[in-house]
Amino acid sequence: MKELKYVGKSLVREDSYDKATGKTIYVGDMKRTDMLYAKLVLSEKAHADIEIDRSEAMLVEGIEAIYTHEDVPKVFYNSAEWYPGIKGIRDELILNNRARFVGDRIALVVGSSKETVEKAISKLKIIYKELKPVIGLKQARKDEVIIKENTNLAFSKSINVGNYEEALKKADYVIKDIGTTPKVHHAAIEPHVCLAEFDYQGNLVICTPCQVATQVQMHVANVLNIPLNKVRTVKAVMGGSFGGKSQPILEPIVAFAAWKLNRAVLLYMDRTDVITGTVSRNATEIAVETAVNKEGKILGRKVEVRVDGGAYNTNASNVTMALGKKLYRLYDIPNQTFEGKAYYTNTLPGGTCRGYGSPQGHAVTEVNIDNIAKKLNMDPCEFRLLNLVDEGAKDLTGAPEIGNAKIKECVKVGMEAFNWKEKRDTIKNKSADRYAYGVGMACGTHGNGYKGAYPDFTNVDMRIYADEGAIVKIGVHDLGCGTITTLKQIAAETLDINMEKIRITEADTFVTPYDSAGTQASRVTYVCGGAIKEAGKKLKAKLINAFCKLKNVPIENVETANGYIYDKNSTEEHTYGDIVTEYEKHFSESMSISLEYKSPANPASFAAFFAEVKVDKYTGLVDVIDCLAVHDIGRAINPMLVEGQIQGGAQFGLGMALYEQMKINKNGDVKSNSFSKYHIINSTSMPKVKIILIEDNEPYGPYGAKSVGEMATVAPAPAIINAINFALDTNITTFPATPEVIVNEILKKGI
């Protein structure tokens, strides 16, 4: 293979200069002449009818408007839908007169400054007529109090492959586990924020750190009943999302205010607003039973999942099914039944969150896998190696093929590098009175886009300019991961133009070509990167053709290098720009191309995560001493950025394993409503994550690449729990394993 110049290199991100100097303008930093500030008023009760007396608040100097339910359009929508073809259950309104969770939107206050707005909020008289709240899955299932219509059951579906009941009959052992995973706050350090204004062309502009600009456009146009092509969503710099800014939460309401007032309005949230008033990872209860024979082969598995969907439908069906489908893509299980149910509760709605169902699904099933190995007296890695999918495996549910699956290699390489066998055999010798040591591991899988489930294509316009520079117009969203740099590397490689000479757009619905599904579902490098590679290939062919025609050179003699094109038998050199201009002059055509790229496949990405822990038996505190992530990534376009994803993903996973959960009491009050009460891992509790990348070329990925960002957050949590269970000889299946959980388990066992 020709040596690559850009792909595979740890190149520095262009945007990091401005970020390192504080010059980058995030939406919260934006100012407009005559701009107004707005803040939402969020319900303090989980379930209540609301009356608001705003008379006194309106008297605050500088207050422009206070909107409540009565003032806004009553158009129901489902914020999780990203194109009109998804006909979900539409039960959200931009402002409510019945609150269904603590944090539900009940009013919007708009004024000349933040101070003014906050002063007015403190003067609002809110009368809550409380209803009984439904908190937690157990209460939801009882259907004694019903949140909407006639049942709290929001969704129910199963997936069946083979015949689990038959498998049970043949099994030597059946290993059962029940576990729970928490609601997790995304905790992007940038709080949600959004600016709406009119531009000189009459567009209602929504400037927002979003993941799917067309989704914002669709909801705003729908709620305000204005044409789609008059709503312009501009993707702003993103101060972190992880799925939390994927569903439009602020956009429809701030658009309404700007539209009503014909002024620029900036809607901001503080941390408590973000924790209580946006979305969270869905909490789950998972029951798994696995039938195995004594040789160590999984014969069948049944997984029942109950998802806490929160107060609105949002992604209840999608996340439940996404969770279920992943369970068919990691192990070769001929008979498997998945039953998924989602319920409404009076807690904040579920939303997309890094890994989308995979972290929850794999959490409990990976602990179960360890328990099977234990039962069979096998090493958990060896047991996995007997059952993990192979290269070219089919997804038995009929979903797209699994692709070049290298998970077995991940496990083998990881065992070696982590010194697994020896550690597993000897680590417990280190345990003394107070401290118990253990090692554990887990595997996980995630996808590469939507193919097989939803339309997955993107449009791209690419042009080479007269000065050799190129522009790539595509509707992507850099969420902070360095997407633009990655995509530039792909463009530079295919066009053979210096990276500094390439510019790539982010989504702007008035300007950039259509993209079917936005920056979610781990689809950008794989699908949008694939599109850029395809466009680059075609554009370069066009350039070469033009050169041949203009200079009368046979195509086999043409060579390019860094924006130069030449006949290898001649000393004459031409810049791409020369050819672009000459071509325009003689053939009346531009050096550009537009294409629509349909994702050709949806393979699985994989990872194995190994961890060593030290558990303080007195306090229940866990120290992760060492960890290793081995990723089947196809090819790393930019290894430095890939490592950043894996390290950040591990931090997310460690949080889910040990600390992070939204604490909601029986009244629905959110106890963990600030960073002092919701702990994300800081520098002193984060171990260094060692990384090994398995790069074995995913056939349809651009230069062989596949996804990593979401994948990285799947395996760490169960690996840590497995390590704790090994250290203590327990069977913890509760995530997170907080000190309380661990101490209880220790007391129960009397160790």
Partner 1 sequence: MIIKLMVNDKMVERDVDPTKRLLDFLREDLNLTGTKEGCSEGECGACTVIVNDKAVASCCVLVGQVNGDNILTIEGLEKNGELDIIQKAFIEKGAIQCGFCTPGMIMSCKALLMKNPKPTVDEIKRSIEGNLCRCTGYTKIIEAVQQIVEERCNNE
List interacting residues with partner 1 (CB under 8 A). Answer: 10, 12-13, 15-17, 19-26, 28-29, 186-191, 237-240, 242, 270-271, 479-482, 640-641, 643-644, 647-652, 674-676, 680, 682-684, 686, 688-689
**Minimum distance of ligand FES from residue 178's CB (angstroms):** 35
287 to 306: interface string for ligand FES, x by CB under 6 A: --------------------
Selected from 59, 127, 189, 625, the binder of ligand FES by CB under 6 A is 189
Which entry of 559, 710, 740, 745 is annotated as an active-site residue?
A: 710
| Chosen from ligand FES, partner 1, none, partner binding at 1 (C-beta under 5 to 8 Å by type) | none
CB nearer to partner 1: pick between 17 and 587: 17
Q: How far is the CB of 354 from partner 1 (least distance, A)?
A: 10
- HSE of 520 in the Cβ direction (CA atoms, 13 Å)? 27
Angstrom distance (rounded) from CA 364 to CA 288: 8
- Select the binding partner of residue 270 from ligand FES, partner 1, none (C-beta < 5 to 8 A, by kind): partner 1
Size of the site for ligand FES (CB under 6 A): 3
Q: What is the DSSP letter of 349?
A: P
Least Å distance, CB 450 to ligand FES, is 26
How far apart are CB 62 and partner 1 at their closest, in Å? Answer: 15
Q: What is the CA radius of gyration of the chain?
A: 27
Closest to 79 in 3D by CA, of 402, 314, 272? 314
147: left (phi over 0), alpha (psi -120 to 50) or beta: alpha
- DSSP-derived secondary structure for 140-170: HHHTSS-SSTT-SEEEEEEEEES-HHHHHHH
Q: Between residues 321 and 507, which has the closer beta carbon with respect to partner 1?
A: 507
Q: Taking the complex as a whole, how short is the minimal distance between the CB of residue 683 and partner 1, in angstroms?
A: 4
Looking at the Cβ atoms of 240 and 334, the one nearer to ligand FES is 240
| DSSP state string for 672-709 | --STTTSPPP-GGGPPPEEEEEE----TTSGGG----T
User: In this structure, what token pair is assigned to residue 499?
Assistant: 């990276």
Q: Between residues 168 and 692, which has the closer beta carbon with respect to partner 1?
A: 692
Q: Give me the least distance between CB of 318 and partner 1, in Å please.
A: 23
- Output the smallest distance, CB 11 to ligand FES, in A: 18
Contact predicate 611/624, CB 8 Å? yes
Q: What is the 3-state secondary structure (H, E, C) of 205-252?
A: EEEECCCCHHHHHHHHHHHHCCCHHHEEEEECCCCCCCCCCCCCCCHH
| Residue 240 interacting with ligand FES (CB under 6 A) | yes
Query: In the complex, which residue's CB is closest to ligand FES?
Result: 189
Catalytic status, residue 710: yes
Exposure of 214 by Cβ count < 10 A (0-12 exposed, 13-18 middle, 19+ buried)?
buried
> Of residues 449, 480, 530, 716, which one binds ligand FES by CB under 6 A?
480
Three-state DSSP at 747 gives: helix
Output 355 or 648, the one with its CB closest to ligand FES: 648
Residue 670 interacts, among ligand FES, partner 1, none and using kind-specific CB cut-offs from 5 to 8 Å, with none
With CA atoms as reference, report the closest residue to 608 among 711, 729, 724, 736. Answer: 711
First to last CA, the chain: 58
Out of ligand FES, partner 1, none, which partner does residue 482 contact, by CB within 5 to 8 A per kind?
A: partner 1
Distance of alpha carbon 220 from alpha carbon 225, whole angstroms: 8
Nearer to partner 1, 241 or 404 (CB): 241
d(CA 80, CA 218): 11
28 near ligand FES, judged by CB under 6 A: no
- Nearer to ligand FES by Cβ, of 480 and 709: the residue is 480
Strand-pair partners of 99: 48
* Chain positions contacting ligand FES, by CB under 6 A: 189, 240, 480
Which residues are catalytic, by number?
710
